[in-house]
Amino acid sequence: MKILVVCGNGLGSSFMMALTVKKALAELGKEAEVTHTDLTTATAEKADVYIGAGDIVDQLDNGMRKIVRIVNMMSIAEIKSKLEPLF
């Protein structure tokens, strides 16, 4: 599975959230490829799951992509609960 973490300009928040996603996956005992990028690049990149703040990932929602909306981007618990059903 490829998980793409998306933020507005791909520099800060998406990287920090990607670290949190990796910790969440480790706690779940699941493996996935986790990369992070900005919104513009994300529209052209293929992934199984697009994850980020609602404001951001809603702009990627074309009815075809699997979108995961996160409220607290530093919460391992929230990310775990939203990723677990996808495996």
Contact by Cβ (8 Å): 66, 15: no
When asked if residue 3 is in the footprint of another protein (CB under 8 A), the reply is no
When asked if residue 25 is in the footprint of another protein (CB under 8 A), the reply is no
Per-residue contact flags (x/-) with another protein for residues 37 to 76, judged by CB under 8 A: --x------------xx-xx---------------xxxxx
The enclosing H or E element of 52 equals: strand 49-53
Query: Beta strands 2-7 and 33-38: pairing type?
Result: parallel
Whole-angstrom Cα distance, residue 74 to residue 87?
A: 21
Minimum Å gap between C-beta 48 and another protein is: 22
Residues that bind another protein (CB under 8 A): 7-13, 15-17, 19-20, 23, 39, 52-53, 55-56, 72-76
